[in-house]
Structure formats: structure tokens, C-alpha cells
């Protein structure tokens, strides 16, 4: 038997240089975006990013679309437009409230989805820096149907709080961001269904948190033909609320690149000098334009900036009116914003003085429904789909640190064994399991998975949205074990076996499940039957349960 020097994947580096430790971005970490050199490269990147957004939102696979069963609790007749108080059932027993503004003119009209930002009154905010009713009424008077709808936890949409997030919710991909993105998808379904809406002319605009919702929906839903995100595309602040920061959303990406997924459809980026969009004309907009240029359509992305604090004020609204008219009603004359009579707040609420439908679900019931639907979907995945979903959930391709995993290879007979110990290489080398393998003359690969053995290093996890930008420690460990499988397959072609101890058995199970290389990993009955609380303590990977959890991993390993 010959002991070889330490064998590393791709490069020999100090464990402390692992980028997953040295670079832990957060919402305020300055970032930039450079488009790929070719359109084909960008199109491939789009597929990857769309998947990443949907997985972060807990929407991959997409939930079943059930009947919207709109409830209309009142209609206001006004000069040139109407306002309806509408709620739609985006999931069984879950209601999204809003106001539908419609022109009185005959025919089919372009339609605008309008999510709101974090102003106190949500979709009913009416003050100089933001007035949703003013925007919606002016658009309706000039030929647009507008659906202004709630964020979760606001106004009529109160079956969940706005800012919930626990490890159990994260394991199942049940987040405010995911609910809001799903509500926006269903809101587009609702507008498409209306007889006075042209489904080929759907647009979307929102400011602040509503701007985040705008570019997230346009990133994943091609039905939105024109968009105008306001005061949110930025390289110096990525969104401060939990509803903008689901785990995994921005690992290896940022809001500039996400907004660029709108290309080549027309988009107007509205910015302000007094907030985090102050650099848009000089930095974010030129970066965005390079993507539209890949399609030969640089003229379809525009930017405008006003000397103002964070807002959706009259100047910003006027810019959006002009852009939407140019793109969706090119023959119509320009129009200027008119002063409007804003309705009383209580007269705009869907459920003011009314109970929710009798089958409305509580917050806890909605979470249980979400979990049950996730289990059904996971069971229907093919092995290839399940493997791809797990790899994306673990952000395998977005972890450059996994390319520098410390490993030690000891040559010997096949089948080779990857031995994973929670204490890393040295602890594994001293274990009875490895000594037995070496005594039998087997080839063995040992690994210092993330934050074990020589790979231990300081890592700042203090930011409240840390997991939005960084993989969890356990996701990184499983990715490192997966990298070790590939390294062993290259070093010792043929059958591969994994053996592991303690918590490292979780890393080994999911690495084996994600591996394109067939590996043998023996499990004991019920050893991976863990509750959400146990997973949070022993193997925490956001989205893990939404992707099928241990049941999916065991099926994939057993199907080898």
C-alpha cells in the first residue's frame, strides 16, 4: 500500500481562502453585473436564473393552478372609469385582495399589474411621495385596466403576516417572497381572464418592494410584455425586507442581473437621486443595456432619474404613463397626470365589514397545505428531475469554494471508498472505519468538508438576510462531498462507495443523491426520518423539504 500526498480538487489552497468564508455578501454589499459575451451564453444563464428564483420562492415545481373564484364586493362608478373591490383565490382557501380599475370605453385594453411597496397603507397609500389611486385612476382614464393588489399581510390579504420566517418555513420554501410571487402569477391569470383585457398587452409596475416584485415576476413569467420597476434596481442595496430576501435568491447573482431577465421586452428603470438608485444612469442602466444589445434591441430599455427621495411620486408616475402608452397604445395621444378624487380607505377594502369565505384557511393551515402539496409534487418527479432540483436547491453550481476542497487520497484496490467524517480528514484517518478499509487494501479518499478539519475558518453569518446570498453550512458540506465524489471518480475509475459517520451521513446521502456518478451508500432503516426541528439542528438546507427531503434522496440513491 502506498500513501500519496494530499490530493486536492482543481487547486491546492488554504482552507481559510474558501470564498464562502471570505466573501459573505448581504443586501448592502456593492455589486455589479457584466453581461455574457454572446446571446447563447445569456440564454443559458437565463434558464439557470429562472430556476434559481423559482426554487428560492418555493415554486419549483409550480403549484397547481386552481380556480380563482373572484369575489367582487362593490363597484364604484366614476367619471371615465370604475373601481371594483376584488379578491381572488390564489390557492385553495387563500385570498388576495385588490382594486380593479377599468376604463369605461368599449373593447379590449392593455392591463397593468400594480404591486405596492412598504408604505403604511399599502395599495391605498395616497401622499406626495406615493399615490397608488392616482396612478391607477389616471391609467384607467386613458385606456388601461389596472389591478392594484396587496402584499401579504397588508389590507385585505391578512391570512398570513408580512414578515414570517422560521427554519421550518425555510425548509419548505414557504416565505413571504414566494407567496407574493405566486400571488403575482395568479394576478396575471386574473387579468388575462377578463373580457375587456388584451392578454397580449400585459404590463407591470411597482415601486420599492413593488419594484422587487415587478422584476421577479418578469424574470419568470414571459406574459408580462412591458415593465417599469421604480426605485429598486440597484447595485448598492438589494432589498431590506424579508419579503424581498428568500434564502438562496441571490447566491451568485443580484438585482441588476435579475432585472435583465426582462430582455428583450421593453423595460423602463425609474430611479431617484435620494435613494439606492442614485447610480442608475451611470452604472446599472449601462449594464442592463448590454443585455438588450445582445438581442439587437438596445432601444427597448430606458432609464430616467428624478431629484427626489425614495418615491413613486408624480414625476415617476408620469414617466411610467409615457412609457406604457408608447409601448402598448402607440397611436394614442400623450396624456398628463390629472388630479383625482381619492376614495375613502374603508370604501376600497374588499372585506371591510365582511367575513372571509367560510373555507378560508388559517396561517397554520396554509402552511400544512403547502407541505402536503410539496410532498405530492416531489413524489411525482423523475430521477433526473429530482436530482436537478436537489442540485439547484443546494446551489451546487454557485459555490466556487467547493472547487478547493482539501482531500487526501490513499491508493488501493477497488471499489474505492469516499469516507466522510464530521471532524474532517484527520478525524477520519484515526477512525476505526478507515483503519479497517486500509487494512483491507482499499482505495480511500478523505475530505475536509466545509468548516471541518483544516477547512474550519471564521464565517460572518450575522446579517439577517445571510441565507439569501450565501449557502448554509450544511449545503456547502454536501456540495463538497459531491465534489469529492467527482474527484474520486477521476482518480480511481470504477465503482465508488461512500461511508460516513454521525452528521456526515446526511452530507453523504444528499451528495450521493445529487451525483451524476453512480455511488453506493448503505442506509439504516429510519435513520433519516427527521422532523423539521431535527433538520434545523442537524442538517439545515433551505428548500430541502420542498425538494422532497430525505425521501427524494433515498429514492435517488436506491435507484442506482
Q: Is the pLDDT of residue 266 over 60?
A: yes
247-258 residue pLDDT tens: 999 999 999 999
Task: Please give the grid coordinates belonging to residue 468.
Answer: 439569501
Residue 61 has pLDDT above 50, yes or no: yes
Instruction: List, in order of start, the domains of the chain with CATH numbers.
Output: 15-43+381-558 (3.40.50), 62-356 (3.40.50.1820)
DSSP 8-state assignment for residue 401: G
- Kindly report the three-state secondary structure assignment for every residue of 151-200: CCCCCCCCCCCCCCCCHHHHHCCCCHHHHHHHHHHHHHHHHHHCCCEEEE
Mean pLDDT of 37-45: 98
Average pLDDT on 25-46 reads 97
For position 397, what pLDDT does the model report? 85
Locate cell 447563447: which residue?
40
* Averaged pLDDT, 253-278: 98
* CA atoms of 218 and 214, how far apart (whole Å): 6
Region class of 296: left (phi > 0), else alpha (psi between -120 and 50), else beta: left
Share of the chain above pLDDT 70, in %: 96
pLDDT at residue 389, rounded to an integer: 97
pLDDT tens-digit map of 353-385: 999 999 999 999 999 999 999 999 999 999 999
Does residue 390 contact residue 513 with C-beta atoms inside 8 Å? yes
Q: For 430-440, what is each residue's pLDDT tens digit?
A: 999 999 999 99
Mean pLDDT of the chain: 95
**Mean predicted confidence (pLDDT) in 273-284:** 98
Give residue 17's pLDDT.
Answer: 78
Asked if the model's pLDDT at residue 265 lies above 70, the reply is yes
Please give the pLDDT value at position 168.
98
Name the E strands within 404-495: 407-410, 413-420, 442-447
Mean pLDDT of 136-160: 98
Pairwise CA distance, residues 485 & 487, whole Å: 5
Query: What is the per-residue pLDDT for 1?
Result: 33
Kindly report the CA angle at 166 between 163 and 167, in degrees rounded to 5?
145
pLDDT at 9 over 50: no
Please determine, for residue 13, whether its predicted confidence score (pLDDT) is greater than 50: no
Task: Please say if the pLDDT value at position 7 is more than 80.
Answer: no
* pLDDT over 90 at 525, yes or no: no
For residue 14, the model assigns a pLDDT of: 40
Bridge partners of 271, per DSSP, are 305
Q: Which residue has the cell 464565517?
A: 459
C-alpha cell of residue 321: 404613463
Condensed to tens digits (0 to 9), the pLDDT of residues 542-555 reads 999 999 999 999 99
Does 15 have pLDDT greater than 80? no
- Provide the pLDDT for residue 128: 97
For residue 398, what pLDDT band results from cuts at 50, 70 and 90?
confident
What's the pLDDT tens digit per position in 162-171?
A: 999 999 999 9
Q: Is pLDDT above 70 for 402?
A: no
How many angstroms separate the Cα of 445 from the Cα of each of 324, 437, 487? 60, 11, 9
Query: pLDDT at residue 306 above 70?
Result: yes
The enclosing H or E element of 127 equals strand 126-127
Please say if the pLDDT value at position 425 is more than 70. Answer: yes
Q: Is this prediction's pTM over 0.85?
A: yes
Is the distance from CB of 469 to CB of 26 less than 8 angstroms?
A: yes
Q: Which of 2-6, 110-114, 453-457, 499-503 bottoms out in mean pLDDT, i.e. has the lowest?
A: 2-6
Amino acid at each position: 500500500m502506498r500513501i500519496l500526498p494530499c490530493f486536492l480538487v482543481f487547486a491546492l489552497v488554504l482552507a481559510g481562502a474558501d470564498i464562502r468564508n471570505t466573501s459573505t455578501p448581504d443586501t448592502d454589499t456593492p455589486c455589479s453585473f457584466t453581461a455574457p459575451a454572446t446571446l447563447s451564453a445569456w440564454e443559458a444563464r437565463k434558464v439557470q436564473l429562472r430556476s434559481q428564483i423559482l426554487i428560492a420562492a418555493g415554486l419549483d415545481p409550480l403549484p397547481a393552478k386552481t380556480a380563482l373564484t373572484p369575489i367582487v364586493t362593490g363597484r364604484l362608478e366614476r367619471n371615465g372609469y370604475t373601481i371594483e373591490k376584488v379578491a381572488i383565490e390564489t390557492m385553495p382557501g387563500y385570498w388576495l385582495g385588490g382594486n380593479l380599475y377599468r376604463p369605461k370605453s368599449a373593447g379590449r385594453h392593455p392591463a397593468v399589474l400594480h404591486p405596492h411597496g412598504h408604505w403604511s397603507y399599502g395599495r391605498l397609500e395616497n401622499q406626495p411621495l406615493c399615490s397608488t389611486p392616482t396612478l391607477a385612476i389616471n391609467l384607467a382614464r386613458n385606456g388601461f385596466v389596472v389591478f392594484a393588489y396587496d402584499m401579504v399581510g397588508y389590507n385585505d390579504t391578512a391570512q398570513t403576516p408580512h414578515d414570517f420566517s422560521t427554519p421550518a418555513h425555510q425548509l419548505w420554501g414557504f416565505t413571504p417572497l414566494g407567496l407574493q410571487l405566486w400571488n403575482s402569477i395568479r394576478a396575471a391569470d386574473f387579468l388575462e381572464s377578463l373580457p375587456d383585457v388584451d392578454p397580449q398587452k400585459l404590463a407591470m409596475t411597482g415601486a420599492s418592494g413593488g419594484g422587487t416584485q415587478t422584476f421577479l415576476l418578469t424574470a419568470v413569467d414571459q406574459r408580462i410584455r412591458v415593465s417599469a420597476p421604480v426605485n429598486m434596481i440597484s447595485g448598492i442595496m438589494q432589498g431590506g425586507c424579508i419579503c424581498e430576501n428568500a434564502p438562496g435568491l441571490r447566491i451568485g447573482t443580484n438585482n441588476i442581473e435579475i432585472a435583465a431577465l426582462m430582455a428583450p421586452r421593453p423595460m423602463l428603470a425609474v430611479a431617484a437621486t435620494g435613494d439606492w438608485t442614485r447610480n442608475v444612469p451611470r452604472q446599472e442602466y449601462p449594464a442592463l443595456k448590454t443585455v438588450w444589445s445582445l438581442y439587437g434591441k438596445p432601444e427597448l430599455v430606458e432609464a430616467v432619474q428624478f431629484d427626489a427621495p425614495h418615491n413613486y411620486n408624480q414625476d415617476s408616475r408620469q414617466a411610467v404613463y409615457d412609457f406604457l402608452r408608447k409601448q402598448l397604445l402607440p397611436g394614442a395621444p400623450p396624456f398628463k397626470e390629472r388630479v383625482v378624487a381619492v376614495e375613502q380607505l374603508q370604501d376600497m377594502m374588499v372585506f371591510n365589514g365582511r367575513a372571509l369565505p367560510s373555507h378560508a384557511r388559517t396561517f397554520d393551515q396554509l402552511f400544512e397545505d403547502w407541505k402536503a402539496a410539496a410532498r405530492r409534487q416531489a413524489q411525482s418527479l423523475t430521477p433526473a428531475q429530482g436530482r436537478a432540483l436537489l442540485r439547484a436547491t443546494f446551489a451546487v453550481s454557485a459555490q466556487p469554494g467547493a472547487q478547493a476542497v482539501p482531500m487526501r487520497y490513499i491508493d488501493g484496490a477497488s471499489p474505492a471508498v469516499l469516507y466522510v467524517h464530521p471532524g474532517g480528514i484527520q478525524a477520519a484517518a484515526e477512525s476505526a472505519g478507515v483503519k479497517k478499509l486500509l487494512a483491507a487494501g482499499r482505495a480511500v479518499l478523505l475530505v475536509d468538508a466545509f468548516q471541518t478539519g483544516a477547512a474550519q475558518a471564521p464565517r460572518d453569518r450575522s446579517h439577517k438576510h445571510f441565507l439569501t446570498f450565501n449557502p448554509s453550512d450544511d449545503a456547502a458540506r454536501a456540495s463538497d462531498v459531491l465534489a469529492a465524489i467527482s474527484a474520486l471518480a477521476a482518480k480511481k475509475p470504477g465503482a465508488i462507495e461512500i461511508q460516513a459517520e454521525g452528521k456526515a451521513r446526511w452530507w453523504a446521502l444528499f451528495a450521493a443523491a445529487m451525483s451524476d456518478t453512480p455511488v453506493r451508500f448503505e442506509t439504516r432503516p429510519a435513520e433519516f426520518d427527521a422532523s423539521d426541528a431535527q433538520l434545523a439542528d442537524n442538517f439545515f438546507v433551505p428548500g430541502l423539504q420542498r425538494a422532497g427531503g430525505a425521501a427524494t434522496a433515498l429514492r435517488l440513491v436506491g435507484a442506482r
